[in-house]
Amino acid sequence: MNGLWFMFAMLLASALFARADQEAVNLKDLVEGARQWALENFDTNQLDALPAVDGQLVRQFFQNAQQRFQGDYVVNLAVLKPAAHVVLPLLASRAETQPYAAWLTAQLDYFDVADEIQITVPPPTADTNRPPPVVANPSPQKERELWVRKVAGRPWPAAAKNYVRRLKPVFAAQTVPPELVWLAEVESAFDPSARSPAGAAGLFQLMPDTAKRFGLSLRPRDERFQPGPSATASAQYLKQLHDRFGDWRLALAAYNAGAGTVQKLLDHHPTRSYDDIAGQLPAETQLYVPRVEAVLRLREGVNLEQLAVPRS
C-alpha cells in the first residue's frame, strides 16, 4: 500500500503542473488542500468507510478532477486517466462509497478522449525563451468526430433496458424530445445511485439547488435517486434551458456548466452559436456536449438539430 500511496501522490502532484508558471506545491500542501476541498464539497462520512490512506487518495483525486473539469483545456484531463483507474476499485470496495464509483465509471470516457487528443493533436511550436505553450482545444467538429469514434458499436448499458422505455414518456410529457433520456448514459451510465463529489446525484446528476427548484425533495428521502421524479425534473430543466437559448447544444452546455456561464460567453461574443463559444467553456463541458451528441446518434440515429419537440 505504501508503494501505491507514493505512486498516486506523485501522479496527483505532477498533475498540478500543467502550466510552467504555476507555483510549486509540496505533498503537505496537496493533502491539506484536498482535505479542505472535501470538507466544503461532499459528505466525508461516506469516505470514512475507506481505510485512512485510501480515503486520502480519493480526496486528492476528487480535488484534482474538479480543478481539471473546470479548467480551460480539455487535454489537461488526460493526466487523470491513470489515477482514475487506481481510485475506482477503492470506491467500489465499500457499499458507502459505491455511489461515487458509479459516478466515476461514467467519467472514464472523458479521460480516454482527452488522452487521445493529447496523442493526436500536435503540440504548438515552443520558444526556448518562454514557458511551454499550451495545447489549444480541438475544434468542436474535431471533438464531435472523436466522440463518434469513441462510442461506435458500444452496446446498451445493461441498466438502460430498465429505464429508456419507461422514462421516454416522462420527457415527452414535458414537451422535451424523448430521445434526450439518453442523457442518463452520459451522466450516470443509467445508475440511479450515482453521486458526484460536487454534490450532483441520480440518473440525471441533478445538483441540490436544481432539484429543489423543480420540486424534488431532498429530505427525508432524496428524490433525485428516484428515476421517475428525477427524469421529470431533468426534462423540465432541459425545456427551460432550450426555451432560453433556442438551441440544444447551448441548452446541454448550460445543463452541464450552468446557464450563467453560457450566457456570459454569449454576451461577450455576440453570437447564438455553440461552436463560437465552445473553446471558452469549462473543459468538461467542451467534451460533454459532443459526447451527448454522439450517444444520441448511436442510440437513436438522430442529430441534435433533428430532435422534434413533442406536442403538449
DSSP string, 113-179: HHHHHHHHSPPPPPPTTSPPPPPPPPPHHHHHHHHHHHHTTPPPPTTHHHHHHHHHHHHHHTTS-GG
Q: Are residues 48 and 169 in the same domain?
A: no
pTM: predicted TM-score of the whole model, two decimal places: 0.84
Q: Which domain holds residue 81?
A: 2-17+26-120
pLDDT tens-digit series, residues 262-288: 999 999 988 899 999 999 999 999 999
Q: Are residues 84 and 176 in the same domain?
A: no
Q: What percent of the chain has pLDDT over 70?
A: 81
Q: Which carries the bigger pLDDT value, residue 276 or residue 12?
A: 276
| Domain-terminating residue out of 120, 141, 173 | 120
Within a domain: 230: yes
| Nearby residues of 92 by Cβ (< 8 Å), 6 or more positions away | 98, 101
At residue 53 the predicted structure's pLDDT band, cuts being 50, 70 and 90, is: confident
Average pLDDT over residues 37-59: 71
Cα distance between residue 142 and residue 260, in whole Å: 26
Q: Which carries the bigger pLDDT value, residue 124 or residue 13?
A: 124
Q: Are residues 199 and 290 in the same domain?
A: yes
Q: Are residues 39 and 103 in the same domain?
A: yes
Catalytic site residue from 143, 179, 185, 187: 187
Within a domain: 135: no
At residue 306 the predicted structure's pLDDT band, cuts being 50, 70 and 90, is: confident
Q: Are residues 302 and 194 in the same domain?
A: yes
So what's the pLDDT on residue 51? 85
Within a domain: 146: no
Within a domain: 125: no
Q: Are residues 94 and 184 in the same domain?
A: no
Average pLDDT over residues 244-268: 97
Q: Are residues 112 and 181 in the same domain?
A: no
CATH number at residue 279: 1.10.530.10
Q: Are residues 243 and 186 in the same domain?
A: yes
Q: Are residues 102 and 197 in the same domain?
A: no
Q: Are residues 167 and 295 in the same domain?
A: yes
At residue 312 the predicted structure's pLDDT band, cuts being 50, 70 and 90, is: low
Q: Which carries the bigger pLDDT value, residue 121 or residue 218?
A: 218
In the chain, the number of structural domains is: 2
pLDDT tens-digit series, residues 187-209: 999 999 999 999 999 999 999 99
Identify the three-state secondary structure at position 230. helix
So what's the pLDDT on residue 129? 57
Phi-psi region of 100 (alpha: psi -120 to 50; beta: other; left: phi over 0): alpha
223 is catalytic: no
At residue 311 the predicted structure's pLDDT band, cuts being 50, 70 and 90, is: confident
pLDDT tens-digit series, residues 217-235: 999 999 999 999 999 999 9
Within a domain: 227: yes
DSSP state of 226: S
Within a domain: 297: yes
Within a domain: 136: no
So what's the pLDDT on residue 219? 92
